[in-house]
Amino acid sequence: MIQVTLKDGSVIEVEKGSTLLDVAGRISEGFARKVLSATVDGKVHGLPLPLEHDCHVTFNTFEDADGRLAYRHTASHVLAQAVKRLYPDSKLAIGPAIDDGFYYDIDSETVFTPEILEKLEVEMRKIIKEDLPLVRFEMPRPAALQFVESMNEPYKVELVQDLPEDAVISFYSQGTFTDLCAGPHLARTGKLKGNAIKLTSCTGAYWRGDSKRKMLQRIYGTCFPKKEELDAYLQRIEEAKKRDHRKLGKELGLFAFRDEAPGFPFYLHNGMVLRNTLINYWREVHKKWGYLEIMTPQIMRRTLWETSGHWDHYKDNMYTTLIDGEDFAIKPMNCPGSILVYDLEPHSYRELPLRYSELGTVHRHELSGALHGMFRVRCFTQDDAHILLAKEQIKGEVMRIAQLFDEVYSLFRLPYTIELSTMPEDHIGTEEDWEIATNALADAITSLGKEYTINPGDGAFYGPKLDFHIEDCLGRTWQCGTIQLDYQLPGRFNLEYVNSSGEKECPVMIHRVVFGSIERFLGIITEHFAGAFPLWLSPVQVKVLPITDRTHDRCEELVALLQQKGYRAEADLRNEKIGYKIREAQMQKVPYMLVIGDKEAQDGSLSIRTRTGEQLTMSVDEFLAKIEKEVADKTI
């Protein structure tokens, strides 16, 4: 007999060789039906795994990330099997689970149109109904290589060739279909729900993400344990399409993209109003929290980037140029510039922390396939800050930054979670420094009463970081804010300050952004608000609409008054019916429309419509007081 310790600390005794599914059944039959995978001593496995020794087991359902991974990874294999059944000449590449579903990259002469995706869905449902067991087996690398060569799957051959000579390689078979895979998977295809699976799209994807390699077809899909969950997800996707910032950006005159400058956004007038209003708020917050705004050069010598480490670690993403026969780089980061500002004069411990803020425009060479509206561009403005401080000030400063983040995200009604990213393989500095830095970040966050999750190995090459993932109104998460603790760069640049004992000491550096970038955050809040920005942010806050030509003068008087008070107001004096003007102003998401007829022109009252259709009547003074409070409070 062996002992299995469960998540709650209870212990179940089972015979040696019992499977994980057997153990789940000992808890209850209903529980066993819900379980999708299990974590055994820290490693995730499929339920057919036999247990050979005492162990700790945590069972995963669809509510758990590891359970969803096994569920959706199995769906990707069912998709691949359906492709091979209907289009046997197709060659399979890779097919992982992803956050919202799964995909499979396929090399095929067949173009996977929406009609063909429907045929593949039908075939997937047949495979699910067949309830095929997924059987795992392993081979040493030489045998595995011969096996995939016999399958006539060239992409699988390349994957096996890239594995170590002594690797033991796993495969999964389901019926007559076999795929190279590490797993884990569900025990049987029938565990999937055929009526809750959907192939959503097909796009191009370079093999292994390399633009020099062949373009494959990537079929995306999603699946859930219940049809109601799938329907709700598809409804969210449809709502997301309506809120697409690229579509709204064009309709509302915010920003645009041109083939002449791929990945470089064009700001239109309304977009500049929105951008500048957001930046004014950013400046207001940073002034309150004690930051000193600076601006550093766009182009600096190669030697600077060699010292910072970017030339060795980030050169492929940098734009470079020759000036007077010397290598220069357009900055992809703002941090080295802040370091040079600090190094302009000597510093004392009495000045620390020194908080430099910078709305720094940076350029990064992103692959064309990765570009996506304002979310992924090649030129953007980071709302950066670099803080130089003593080691003993780290905890207090990180807490202070987290409080600033909380103030900003709360204003936009954006809840967030925090992720602590630890040391990557490609790092600089000692493991001891990394441990101290990582513990300092964790201690600061827990001292604020906040929770965090660990993202192992995903820190920057110079230090660990805290990433803040905001959640929009559709439940989507976006990584925006980050706090990166850096013991390395100040030392590489020989930065110093005089401590309280009169000795020279190297400061620590914190890199942090709250929006992430102005461009990306504008894209996020455009979708979050569906273009209906709160009054303080709206490019046009009030539209004044005359019913007849006789009230034009009164409308122009109101616009002048509103503009004098600092509001963004316009009059629509076109010879159009009032209903048309109202509908158009609503389409432009204008918060308030003042409809002025003969009565309003004579008695000085205001007939007000909101973009949601609400109708109000009040005096000019009452309306001014209303919008003054709404703007001052930054009401959402």
Provide the annotated active-site residues: 335, 364, 382, 384, 386, 465, 511
For 587-599, give one letter per residue: b (16+ CB within 10 A) or e. Answer: ebbbbbbbbbbee
Tokens in use for 146? 């011969």
Cis omega (within 30 of 0) for bond into 353: yes
Residues 6 or more apart in contact with residue 48 via CB below 8 angstroms: 19, 20, 21, 135, 136, 187
Q: How far apart are CA 251 and CA 530, in angstroms?
A: 12
> Residue 115: how many CA atoms within 13 Å on its side-chain side?
2
- How does DSSP classify residue 463? B
| CA triple 440-445-447, angle to 5 deg | 95
Q: Is 525 helix (H, G, I), strand (E, B) or coil?
A: helix
**In this structure, are residues 78 and 65 in contact, taking their beta carbons and an 8 Å threshold?**
no
Q: Is 255 helix (H, G, I), strand (E, B) or coil?
A: strand
Q: How far apart are CA 521 and CA 282, in angstroms?
A: 12
| CA triple 254-258-262, angle to 5 deg | 110
Dihedral pair phi/psi, residue 313, rounded to 5° = -105, -15
- How does DSSP classify residue 506? P
How many other CB atoms are there within 10 angstroms of residue 635's CB atom? 12
| Continuous H helices in 39-89 | 65-86
Helices 154-161 and 141-150 sit at what angle, rounded to 10 degrees? Answer: 170
Tokens in use for 438? 């990582």
Which among 360, 335, 448 is positioned nearest to 400, based on CA atoms?
Answer: 448
Which among 60, 71, 127, 79 is positioned nearest to 100, based on CA atoms?
Answer: 71
Which among 88, 120, 129, 86 is positioned nearest to 102, based on CA atoms?
Answer: 120
Which among 635, 634, 636 is positioned nearest to 284, based on CA atoms?
Answer: 634
Residues in a beta bridge with 290:
none
Q: How far apart are CA 607 and CA 436, in angstroms?
A: 63
**In this structure, are residues 295 and 334 in contact, taking their beta carbons and an 8 Å threshold?**
no
Helices 114-130 and 65-86 sit at what angle, rounded to 10 degrees? Answer: 110
CA–CA distances in Å: residue 78 to residues 55, 123, 127:
31, 9, 7
Q: Is 560 helix (H, G, I), strand (E, B) or coil?
A: helix
Dihedral pair phi/psi, residue 207, rounded to 5° = -60, 125
| Continuous H helices in 139-214 | 141-150, 154-161
CA–CA distances in Å: residue 626 to residues 378, 402, 598:
41, 32, 24
Q: How far apart are CA 83 and CA 331, in angstroms?
A: 46
**In this structure, are residues 598 and 581 in contact, taking their beta carbons and an 8 Å threshold?**
no
Q: What is the dihedral of CA 356, 357, 359, 364, to 10 degrees?
A: 60
